[in-house]
Amino acid sequence: MDIFHSLSKRILFFSLLLLHLLYAARADFNIATIPFNKGYYPLFGDNNVVRSSDDKSVNLVLNQYTGSGFKSSDLYNHGFFSAKIKLPSDYTAGIVVAFYTSNGDIFEKTHDELDFEFLGNIRGKRWRFQTNVYGNGSTSRGREERYYLWFDPSREFHRYSILWTSNNIIFYIDDVPIREIVRSDAMGGDFPSKPMSLYATIWDASNWATSGGKYKVNYKYAPFVAKFTDLALDGCAIDPIQDVLSTSCSKKDDQLESANYATITPKQRSAMKKFRQKYMYYSYCYDIIRYPIAPPECVIDPVERHQFKDTGRLNFGARRHRHDKIKVQVSSMRTYEDQQDED
C-alpha cells in the first residue's frame, strides 16, 4: 500500500508539473473578435448552423440528416485564425469537428490547407486530435501529427488558433504552442503560399475517425453540438479575382510577424516540448516507412526518435524503459493505445 501511495503521488506530481509548465507559458494575446455576420457565412447544413442572438457565437449541429459548417467571407493572404471551441459531449465516436484553412474550392489540384481535426471520443477515453499541413496539393506528403488532449474539451471552451505567415506556421491551444513549422527553401511549394479561407465543420466520419472506423456515430446521442465563440480573423483579405501574387499585403504581413503570437518565447518553447513529449503519439517526421528520408522541415531529435517506431507511432516499450518508476501509468496508457492503434 505504501508503494502504491508513493507511486500515485509521483504520478500526480509529474502531471501537475506539466500543467504548470503549459499554463506558465501562456501569453496574453491581443485578439480582436468579430461577430459572425462580419466575417463568416453558413457553408452547408444551414438549419444546423445556429447563431446566438448577439451574433458572437455559433453552434454547429450534426444530426441523422446532415452535419454543418461555416466559412470566412474572404480569403486571406496569411493570417491569425482563432476561436474558442467547446466540443460535443457524451459518446461522440465517428464524429469529426474541424477548424482549418483551405483554398481547395479554388485550387482543386494545387490546394493548401492547415488543419485542426478532433477525432471523436468514446466515453471515458481521452480525446484525440490531429494537425496537418498541405502545400500546393501535396496530399501524398501530408504532414500529420496526432496527439491526446490534456483536458476534456467538451466541459468548457478552449481557444484553438492557427498562425500562418510567410515564414512560419504555429498551432496553438489556449495560447500554448503545440506545433511549429518554419519555412525552408527545401520545402518549395509544400509550404502553403496561396490565399486561404477559414472553415469550421462537424460531420460524420464513421469510416475512419475513431479507431480506424471501428466505432461509428451513434445517433441515439444526437444532436451533436460543437460550440464556437470569440471568433477572430486577423489577416489581409484578398479578392480571389485579383492576382494572388499581389504585394498589397506586405504591411499586414509585417504586422502579423511582429505580433506577440508570431514569436515563441523560451517559456512557451519549453511548454511545447513538454506537450509533444507527453501527448504526441504519431509524427510523420519519424515515419521512416512512409518517408525513408524525413521531409526537409523535420528536426530529428535522437532522444525523441527513440520514443517512436518506424511507423511514426509512439513506442511505449521505450517510454516504459525510460520511466521505470511509473509502470502502472504506462501500462494503462499502453492498453488505451492498443485500442486506438487501428486509425
Model pLDDT for residues 90-111, shown as the tens digit of each residue: 899 999 999 999 999 999 889 9
For residue 212, the Cα-to-chain-centroid distance in whole angstroms is: 19
Give yes or no for residue 336 having a pLDDT over 90: no
Determine the average pLDDT of the residues in 287-309.
Answer: 90
CA distance 121 to 87: 10
pLDDT-derived band at 3 (thresholds 50, 70, 90) equals low
Q: Identify the residue with better confidence: 293 or 2.
A: 293
What pLDDT score was predicted for residue 338? 39
pLDDT at 122: 86
247: cell is: 504585394
The per-residue pLDDT for 125 is 85
Q: Is 113 a catalytic residue?
A: yes
- pLDDT exceeds cutoff 80 at 201: yes
DSSP letter string over 115-155?
A: EEEE----TTSPPEEEEEEE-TT-GGG---EEEE-SS-TTT
More confident residue, 172 or 2: 172
Q: Which SS3 state, helix, strand or coil, does residue 188 take?
A: helix
User: What confidence tier does 227 reach under pLDDT thresholds 50, 70, 90?
Assistant: very high
- pLDDT at 248 (0 to 100): 74
Quick check: bond before 223 cis, omega within 30?
yes
Q: What mean pLDDT comes out for the span 163-192?
A: 94
Given a cut of 50, is residue 65 above it in pLDDT? yes
String of b and e for 39-49 (b: at least 16 CB within 10 Å)? bbebbebeebb
Say how far apart CA 128 and CA 69 lie, in whole Å: 21
For residue 339, pLDDT beyond 70: no
Spot the catalytic one: 117, 144, 297, 304: 117
Least confident interval from 196-210, 243-257, 278-292: 243-257
Q: Please check the confidence at residue 154 and state whether its pLDDT lies above 80.
A: yes
Residue 28 in this model has a pLDDT that exceeds 80? no
As a whole number, the mean pLDDT across the chain is 85
Average the pLDDT over 258-267 and give the result.
92
> What is the length of the chain?
343
- Prediction pTM value: 0.84
Identified catalytic residue from 108, 113, 156, 257: 113
CA distance 94 to 207: 7
Q: How confident is the model at residue 332 (pLDDT cuts 50, 70, 90)?
A: very low
User: Residue ranges per domain, the chain?
Assistant: 36-264
Within 13 Å of residue 103, how many CA atoms lie on the same side as its CB? 24
* 36-264: CATH architecture: Sandwich (2.60)
Q: Mean pLDDT across the stretch 234-239?
A: 89
Q: Is a pLDDT exceeding 60 seen at residue 8?
A: no
For position 243, what pLDDT does the model report? Answer: 55
Q: Is residue 323 over pLDDT 80?
A: no
Is the per-residue pLDDT at 5 higher than 70?
A: no
pLDDT at residue number 99: 98
pLDDT-derived band at 341 (thresholds 50, 70, 90) equals: very low
Based on the residue annotation, tell me whether 257 is a catalytic residue of this protein: no
Mean pLDDT, rounded, for 263-281: 94
* DSSP per position, 252-305: HHHHHHHSGGGS--HHHHHHHHHHHHHHEEEEEEEETTT-SS--TT----HHHH
Question: Which pLDDT score is estimated for 333?
Answer: 35
